[in-house]
């Protein structure tokens, strides 16, 4: 784990600064191609606790600062569920569902600030419109914060990604669409668009529009 939230220097004291992960992969119906992955993790690092930082700020009348409450070896746990379902075209057309949860009590440390998430999406093979090497993907995601994390930000606290001094909380909603186009035999071009409602979990912000382009060349 890094020495501070989202830092680029790793803490060498692995007995109280590390991440432990376990993942179980299941195929309940091999004939359907369904894949289910269950993930659990425990992180240890020099983290603060949102509730304690908020309580101290209330006592002193100051803005809460999670960094003033950090302590080595604190624990953050969480888990996730990923389901992938091929539908047609040898698996090139399929759907997925992902769920994630963490305790939301200790400081977000890496690599983003989210405590609850759910996403669903589909990919379609271009063979359905005469472009068998192309792919069209559509996904929708909901991201949220724990009550403790939310209250900390509402008081004016900041994390390594979030914190503009005021939070009018709302779930972050993201719609993403991409198209993977085979331009040449060894060249694929993928334009991407994201529509983000309540960016940073703030109803006073956005919506935001994000455009991207990826080029892949195979040799």
Under the banding of pLDDT at 50, 70 and 90, the label for residue 45 is very high
Q: What is the mean pLDDT of residues 130-134?
A: 96
Q: What is the mean pLDDT of residues 110-130?
A: 96
Q: What is the DSSP letter of 48?
A: -
User: What confidence tens digit (pLDDT) does each residue in 46-92 have?
Assistant: 999 999 999 999 999 999 999 999 999 999 999 999 999 999 999 99
Q: At what angle do helices 147-154 and 50-60 cross, to 10 degrees?
A: 30
User: What confidence tens digit (pLDDT) does each residue in 148-182 have?
Assistant: 999 999 999 999 999 888 899 999 999 999 999 99
**Contact present, 162 and 200 (Cβ < 8 Å):** yes
201 backbone dihedrals φ, ψ, rounded to 5°: 65, 25
At 92 the pLDDT is 94
Chain-centroid distance, C-alpha 188: 26
Any idea which fold 18-217 has?
A: Porin (2.40.160)
CA distance 141 to 175: 7
Structure-model confidence comparison of residues 164 and 191, the more confident one:
191
CA distance 92 to 71: 47
User: 156-185 as b/e, with b when 16 or more CB fall inside 10 Å?
Assistant: bbbbbebbeeebebbbbbbebebbbbbeee
pTM comes to 0.91
Counting Cα atoms < 13 Å in the Cβ hemisphere of 201 gives 29
Q: Domain ranges for the chain, please list them.
A: 18-217
């Amino acid at each position: 784990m890094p020495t501070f939230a989202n830092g680029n220097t790793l803490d060498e004291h692995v007995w109280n600064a590390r991440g432990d992960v376990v993942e179980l992969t299941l195929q309940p119906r091999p004939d359907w191609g369904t894949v289910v992955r269950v993930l659990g993790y425990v992180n240890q690092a020099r983290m603060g606790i949102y509730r304690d930082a908020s309580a101290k700020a209330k006592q002193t009348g100051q803005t809460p600062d999670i960094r003033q409450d950090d302590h080595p070896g604190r624990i953050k746990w969480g888990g996730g569920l990923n389901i992938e379902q091929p539908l047609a075209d040898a698996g090139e057309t399929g759907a997925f569902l992902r769920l994630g949860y963490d305790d939301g009590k200790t400081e977000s440390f890496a690599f983003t600030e989210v405590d609850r998430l759910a996403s669903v999406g589909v990919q379609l093979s271009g063979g359905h419109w005469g472009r068998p090497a192309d792919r069209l993907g559509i996904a929708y995601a909901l991201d949220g914060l724990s009550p403790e994390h939310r209250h900390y930000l509402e008081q004016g606290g900041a994390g390594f990604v979030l914190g503009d001094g005021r939070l009018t909380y709302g779930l972050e909603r993201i719609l993403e669409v991409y198209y993977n186009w085979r331009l040449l035999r060894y060249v694929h071009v993928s334009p991407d668009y994201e529509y983000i409602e309540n960016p940073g979990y703030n109803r006073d912000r956005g919506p935001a529009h994000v455009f991207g382009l990826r080029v892949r060349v195979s040799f």
